[in-house]
Structure 1
Amino acid sequence: MTNLLNNKKPKSNILNTFAIATFSLHLLVLFLFILQGLNIRQLSLRKPPSFVQMIDGKTPTATDDLARDPEAIRQFISKTMTSMFNWSGTLPVNNVEAAVKPQPDPGITLRTSQGGNQKVTTSSWVASFAISEDFRKGFLSAIAQMTPAEVFSNNPTQAMSAELIIKRIYPPEQIEPGKWRVGMVADLIQKKRADDRRTITPFNKDLLVRAVDYYPHPLPEISTDIQKAIYSNRAQKLEIYEIRTLCLIDNYSNLSNDKSNPCGNIRTSDSFLR
């Protein structure tokens, strides 16, 4: 009997050791899972790295969150303002099929500051997402008041189009970290399609631009063309947060910084679109 008891003890010790080792291994795996989860959470909360927008095909390099390449800022202004004020009467072209057979632009209906409903072109509405949210609504309302109803007309004798011809965009002037002031000299040309009669309006503006964060669309594969266009505007990590009248006096660098009267003694309209 004594021999039988002695033979069973080693078996019991092996089972205990195996149970303790297994439990310890489970604890270790649980700890690793928790550690990995914390690392993933930190990565999800971290802002994406910013890059200087380079031109001429150069490789972008990591930089400060508020730094932007001056030429990239000028290109952003040119693209945004051109898209905003080019009213062709057709929807924006996103593929070859749309270019061959352009579709009429039904426009986007907005409620203006005067209480009525007016339309802006689809391209203006899409481009407006490059403008800060607090400024965008009032800006679109003013654009709607400027946009002739004939832009959306299907009657060739009444239809109109408009094009913004940019003559010059001044080098960005940094006013504080992550903010720039950019002057633009341009003409807004409205044309009657029937007789090619044109109306040319000077459109000289002082634009205030700032650096912003960008978060890509979570489901790009199912995005519509308009959604992709909107996110492409935000992908440049810039936005326009104010537009003033630009006065062509002497030198751009000598212009007054006074918001209320940027042209010194020259009288200007209160509207940022006049």
Structure 2
Amino acid sequence: MVNLLKKRQRTGNILTTFAIATFSLHILVLLLFIFQGLEIRQLSLRKPPNFVQMIDGKPIAAADDLAREPETIRLFVSKTMTAMFNWSGNLPPTNFEEATKPKPDLGILVRTPSGGSQKVTTSSWVASFALSEDFRKGFVGAIAQITPPEVFSTNPNQGMSAQLVIKRVYPPKKIAPGKWRVGMVADLIQKKRGDDRRRITTFNKDLLVRAIDYFPYPLAENSTDLQKAIYSNRTEGLEIYEIRNLCLIDEYNNLNETQLKQCENSKKADPFIK
């Protein structure tokens, strides 16, 4: 009888130990799942590495999300403004055949500040995605107002073209973390194809640029040439968020904010000012 009681006690102790060990193991697995869940959540909330394009065109991960090379900023401004105001009347070529026989640009209809609708060139519309979204719509509408309808004419005697001739792009001046002011001195030359008559308009502007996060298009293989062109405007991790008149009353680097305001107030407001 005594031996039977000892056996029952020993069996009970083993079952109790097994139950406690199993329960402890379940608790451990639960804690492991909770830890993994928190890690996955942190990964999902973490910003992806910010790749910026260097002068040689190679993208690298930036140590500072707001850091950009000065020459990269200058090239970004030059490239964007050139694409915005070079109006040839033809679509940008995407292959060798289109380079030899360019397709006519039918233009893209946009809303103007006056409430009407006018056309901008396809290159201007694509380049406008290098602007901040709140500034882009009004700016594209302003470009539509100054784009001659003759740009879209297929008649060689009536058609017009335009080219932005950049004379100088000043070194970027940092105005805040991740924000720069870049001065540009240029001329917008509009030419009639039939008789080569030209109209030259001074285009001296202050462009406010800021660093942004760049997210590559998730379906690059299936994207169209137009989509690729639009997303290529964001690869430098920069955007233009305001354009003002450039003051040339003094050396650009010596101007302070008070002088800039005085210069801007002395000039007539134009459609390129935000």
Q: Secondary structure at the match of 1:115?
A: coil
Does the C-alpha gap of structure 1 residues 97 and 171 become closer, same or farther in structure 2, counting only changes over 3 Å?
A: same
**Which stretch shifts more, 174-183 or 242-251?**
242-251
Q: Does 1:268 align with 2:263?
A: no
Q: State the match for 1:164 in structure 2.
A: 164
Does the C-alpha gap of structure 1 residues 17 and 48 become closer, same or farther in structure 2, counting only changes over 3 Å?
A: same
Amino acid at match of 1:237: G
Please tell me the root mean square deviation across aligned C-alpha atoms, in Å: 3.2
Q: State the match for 2:190 in structure 1.
A: 190
Q: In structure 1, what is the Cα distance between the partners aligned to 2:24 and 2:221?
A: 45
Kept in 1: contact 2:181–2:207 (CA 8 A)? yes
Does the C-alpha gap of structure 1 residues 156 and 59 become closer, same or farther in structure 2, counting only changes over 3 Å?
A: closer
Alignment of 1:196-207 (within 5 A): 196-207=196-207
Q: Does 1:87 align with 2:87?
A: yes
Does the C-alpha gap of structure 1 residues 23 and 66 become closer, same or farther in structure 2, counting only changes over 3 Å?
A: same
Identical positions, percent: 71
**Which stretch shifts more, 232-241 or 141-150?**
232-241
Deviation sequence 1:155-207 (CA, Å, 0-9, x none): 11111111111111000000111111100011111111112221111111111
Does the C-alpha gap of structure 1 residues 188 and 25 become closer, same or farther in structure 2, counting only changes over 3 Å?
A: same
Q: State the match for 2:10 in structure 1.
A: none
Alignment of 1:103-182 (within 5 A): 103-182=103-182
Q: In structure 2, what is the Cα distance between the partners aligned to 1:16 and 1:93?
A: 79
Q: In structure 2, what is the Cα distance between the partners aligned to 1:76 and 1:59?
A: 14
Q: In structure 2, what is the Cα distance between the partners aligned to 1:95 and 1:17?
A: 76
Q: In structure 1, what is the Cα distance between the partners aligned to 2:271 and 2:91?
A: 26
Amino acid at match of 1:87: W
Amino acid at match of 1:271: D
Give structure 2 stretches of 5+ with no counterpart.
Answer: 1-13
Q: Secondary structure at the match of 2:218?
A: coil
Q: In structure 1, what is the Cα distance between the partners aligned to 2:83 and 2:169?
A: 16
Q: CA deviation at 1:105?
A: 1.1
Q: In structure 1, what is the Cα distance between the partners aligned to 2:147 and 2:59?
A: 40
**Which stretch shifts more, 231-240 or 139-148?**
231-240
TM-score by length of 2: 0.84
Q: CA deviation at 1:249?
A: 2.5
Kept in 2: contact 1:80–1:127 (CA 8 A)? yes
Kept in 2: contact 1:183–1:246 (CA 8 A)? yes
Deviation sequence 1:202-240 (CA, Å, 0-9, x none): 111111111111222121111111111111111211111
Q: Secondary structure at the match of 2:161?
A: strand
Q: Secondary structure at the match of 1:221?
A: coil
Q: Secondary structure at the match of 1:242?
A: strand
- Matched residue count: 272
Q: Secondary structure at the match of 1:156?
A: coil
Q: CA deviation at 1:154?
A: 1.1
Larger relative contact order, structure 1 or 2 (CA cutoff 8 Å, min sep 6):
2
Q: In structure 2, what is the Cα distance between the partners aligned to 1:57 and 1:129?
A: 19
Kept in 2: contact 1:245–1:272 (CA 8 A)? no
**Which stretch shifts more, 57-66 or 181-190?**
57-66
Amino acid at match of 1:133: E
Deviation sequence 1:29-55 (CA, Å, 0-9, x none): 676555444433322221122355432
